[in-house]
Structure 1
Amino acid sequence: MERIEKFHGNNHYEIDLPNGNLHVFANPDIYQSFDSRPFEMADNNLIIPRNVYMSYTPDAHVGIGTCIGTTAVWNMKDGFVSPSIVGVDIGCGMRVHTTPLHKKDIQDKGVRRALIKTIEKYVPTNERTNSHYVDIDIREVVKYGLRGLPSAYVPHEQWLTHVEQSTFKYDHQYLDKLPDDIHKYAHGQLGTLGGGNHFIEILYLEIEEAQKDLATQWGLFDGQVIVMIHSGSRAWGAKLGQEYTKLFRASMFNWGIENPDRSLIYAPISSDEGQSYLNLMYSALNFAVSNRHMIAFGVREAFRELFGGEIEFPVLYDLMHNYALKEYHRNEAMLVHRKGATRALPPGHFLNTAAYRETGHPALIPGSMGTSSYIMIGKEEGTKNFYSICHGAGRARSRKATKELVTVDEFQRSMKVGSDEEILVNHRSLATILDECPQAYKDVDQIIDSVVGASLADVVATCKPMAAIKGV
């Protein structure tokens, strides 16, 4: 496939492909690591008519139908929506809570092991274990998000305000289009972690010197223990995705639309299929933000059991990196798809939630297990990429290839096993989660260097891991 590359400086490449333009934000080393497949996938995506903009963040890698790490934009008035560019785990995202604890308070391995065990008591990590919150009405959650939770599960108003969005509004009549069994499956999963790359991590902060004032405004300090949560919409989003994959594929066949990649599905925003999917996607976003909220509620209970019932556990921020949102850019209403991409709004931007209107919101970027994660702040220059940055390190190799190429000994060394700085995990054997080892992912420091060098965002704090909890 022919492609013409232009380098705009500041880690910004523009590639002319047969079907349109792709922007890539990556430093030279990361850019050179891309093989031909991501560009082929981008060209397939650009077959979708009237695309306004498409880009890859440096963590981009091959996914189903679309690369993870994609931002793709269409006008609301005549554009398209694609479940493939939203992703299969609708509403998957990040949440961070702060604590008053310092690294030294949990340095002892015995304390951290007790913390892991206690968190597992309150947060189901086994796929076969049901939710502890079966008293919560799932119908209220998918309709109203955090505003649909009983007040007993909202420790503070701040848990509702320091989030990307507490309620994603939509026409609830579309819920009648979903299969009846979706409620049964989802009811048992609210507040559960899930498997794959989902996790709860305990980390401590190293604040950037240039960002100390901002960090203080956000309630952050050097050595502070924080909790990072990564999960999504579980069975609700999965079932919805399955149903609409079949529906969109059948509609595309009836319309006579073909694409080289059968996994890529899309429909006009104004079509019945497009409107139905968009409305129900928002129900999955409501489930996802509520799921992370309830996971955090369980983690809070664990911290209070170990460190005292008065310990504060405020939410820093909750955001998503798999969704399509109506946003206003260039004085027009646009549908911005982010698949494995994080919105990072700068200070003063009108789309910021009220709590962060002045400072800009924290952008939460996890590393791979055993490596640093980051809290960042968006820059005004990010407008060139619709304020999208990376969502993590991004896989460098498949799960199968990782198991074939990486040894458990290598994994153990990366987790500092046996040392005082060992990153503890909830699995007895690292062999069971080898496919999630740091060697499966790109170098997160290179990813962050790419984003900073592209003037999309700056680092506020580096988060150093101390313990990780993965699904079983």
Structure 2
Amino acid sequence: MHVFANAEVKESFEDKVFEMADNNLRIPRNQYMSYTPDAHVGIGTCIGTTAVWNMKDGFVSPSIVGVDIGCGMRVHTTQLHKRDLQDKGVRRQLIQAIEKYVPTNERTNTHYEDIDIMDVVRSGLKGLPERYVPNERWLTHVEESTFTFSHGYLEKLPENIRKYAHGQLGTLGGGNHFIEIQYLEIEEEAKDVAASWGLFDGQVVVMIHSGSRAWGAKLGQTYTKIFREAMYSWGVTNPDRNLLYAPIGSDVGQTYLHLMYSALNFAVSNRHMIAFGVQQGFRDVFGGETELPVLYDLMHNYALKEFHRNEPMLVHRKGATRALSPGHFLNAAVYKESGHPALIPGSMGTSSYIMRGRAEGEKNFYSICHGAGRARSRKATKELVTVDQFEASMKVGTDEEILVNHRSLKTILDECPQAYKDVDLIIDSIVGASLADVIAKCKPMAAIKGV
């Protein structure tokens, strides 16, 4: 078991984190397992886990994928400078414009009823009508745009999954999902790399965090039951009944993997359509020709076949981000030489980061953190943190106020910065372990959260 965390971060890990590691390592024939510094207790497995098995005789675990299958990050750039949004009135106008196109209420359906979600889950971005693909860049600047699988497995979907997922494509969802308007501070030693990616100091960017919505959630819930029943029938037990797994080659393992790919297709397409709506909002405020080029889109909840140590392996990442080094063969073609941007959110009121993987990251299967990581539960946050403290961290009442789309911060108190670890310490751990380097800090200006 490997832990990538500096002394201060590691000291903050609760005992349950290591207890869960022990439970995970009871799954047979594990090739590798690690925690990133944002690791914290999850269901069955900690968020911040990388776990690897050989494809030929290994195991797949929905617990080490997570329920929000394909959840991930996306960043779009603009040609705007932070001074263009310095006026709080402009930022409020932009928030309202984006909310016209991106539903943030769980009970509100998408604006894109003409998209057949079955086309999307089968073909990913290639299943979208052409009118929703502004240019080729929106298809190529992604970790994966299409996850291929045998469509016969779709017949094994829960009957109600389409009903629940219908109307959700292009919607944000609740919890820690967000759209954030930020500006960049480029690291001095990374200016050349940043320039090659089209980034500059003070540049306004948009960071999006969302996943597969009800499609992935229903799959996760359904296969939790199916895996539990299968393990019972095989006589397999584990100290944690929420830690579920099956041989990759078994019927239940193969079915889960294929249906998981359908959720990955939904997730990347969902972020794409959220971004499409965000661009429409920017055009309402800054003019109809405003473009928001894609910087990158990547996931942090999934299991994928990858080649490591000259062998095919199933790499699980639950709350962990792949950060490939320059020249790595798995890089998207446009980032083959430079390495791709790794997108790491902080928390409301703190910096997020754009990083780039290093060759030394091979030791951790090129996994880094996926964010700051929760420091306390939602319930504990509401008990321990006051609205006044939240307001202070958001600089309410000052010219530098980080605006939000909620009338009262009380409604999203469980997402305040105090609910999360210090993201700067998390990033320090990643850099200190030589897993990745910082290219730019992303400083928040306005945030849109679901309700």
**What TM-score, normalized to structure 1?**
0.95
- Which of 417, 421, 426 is the equivalent residue of 1:438? 417
- For residue 320 of structure 1, what is the amino acid of its counterpart? M
Aligned to 1:242: 221
Distance apart, 1:182 and its partner CA: 1.0
1:103-139 deviation per Cα after TM superposition (whole angstroms, max 9, x unaligned): 0001100000000011000000000000111110111
- Identity of paired residues, percent? 81
- Which of 152, 159, 165 is the equivalent residue of 1:186? 165
- For residue 376 of structure 2, what is the amino acid of its counterpart? R
Aligned to 1:257: 236
Aligned to 1:374: 353
**2:300 maps to 1:321:** yes
After TM superposition, the structure 1 = structure 2 runs for residues 119-130 of structure 1, keeping only pairs within 5 Å, are: 119-130=98-109
The alignment partner of 1:280 has SS state of: helix
Aligned to 2:427: 448
- For residue 30 of structure 2, what is the amino acid of its counterpart? N
Distance apart, 1:359 and its partner CA: 0.4
After TM superposition, the structure 1 = structure 2 runs for residues 207-246 of structure 1, keeping only pairs within 5 Å, are: 207-246=186-225
Aligned to 2:185: 206
Distance apart, 1:183 and its partner CA: 1.2
**2:407 maps to 1:428:** yes
- Measure the CA separation in 2 of the matches of 1:388 and 1:84: 18
**2:112 maps to 1:112:** no
1:335-377 deviation per Cα after TM superposition (whole angstroms, max 9, x unaligned): 0000000000000000001010010000000001110000000
**2:122 maps to 1:133:** no
The alignment partner of 2:261 has SS state of: helix
**2:18 maps to 1:39:** yes
- For residue 152 of structure 2, what is the amino acid of its counterpart? Q
The alignment partner of 2:180 has SS state of: strand
The alignment partner of 1:346 has SS state of: coil
- Measure the CA separation in 2 of the matches of 1:458 and 1:245: 37
Any unmatched runs of 5+ in structure 2?
none
Any unmatched runs of 5+ in structure 1?
1-21
- Measure the CA separation in 1 of the matches of 2:245 and 2:67: 14
- For residue 146 of structure 1, what is the amino acid of its counterpart? L
After TM superposition, the structure 1 = structure 2 runs for residues 40-55 of structure 1, keeping only pairs within 5 Å, are: 40-55=19-34
4+ residue runs of structure 1 moved beyond 6 angstroms? none
- For residue 171 of structure 2, what is the amino acid of its counterpart? T
Aligned to 2:124: 145
Aligned to 2:73: 94
Distance apart, 1:311 and its partner CA: 1.2
Distance apart, 1:35 and its partner CA: 2.0
- Measure the CA separation in 1 of the matches of 2:382 and 2:116: 41
- Which of 254, 272, 284 is the equivalent residue of 2:263? 284
- For residue 342 of structure 2, what is the amino acid of its counterpart? A
- Which of 353, 357, 363 is the equivalent residue of 2:332? 353
The alignment partner of 1:96 has SS state of: strand
Distance apart, 1:33 and its partner CA: 1.0
- Measure the CA separation in 1 of the matches of 2:405 and 2:161: 30
- Measure the CA separation in 2 of the matches of 1:211 and 1:171: 42
Distance apart, 1:416 and its partner CA: 0.3
The alignment partner of 1:166 has SS state of: coil
> Alignment length, in residue pairs?
451
- Measure the CA separation in 2 of the matches of 1:146 and 1:409: 43
Distance apart, 1:186 and its partner CA: 1.0
Cα RMSD for the two superposed structures:
0.5
- For residue 120 of structure 1, what is the amino acid of its counterpart? E
Distance apart, 1:180 and its partner CA: 2.4
Distance apart, 1:185 and its partner CA: 1.5
- For residue 170 of structure 1, what is the amino acid of its counterpart? F
Aligned to 1:82: 61
1:49-75 deviation per Cα after TM superposition (whole angstroms, max 9, x unaligned): 000000000000000000000000000
- Which of 393, 397, 401 is the equivalent residue of 2:376? 397
1:295-315 deviation per Cα after TM superposition (whole angstroms, max 9, x unaligned): 000000000111011112100
Distance apart, 1:34 and its partner CA: 1.1
1:166-194 deviation per Cα after TM superposition (whole angstroms, max 9, x unaligned): 10111111000012221121121000000
Aligned to 2:398: 419
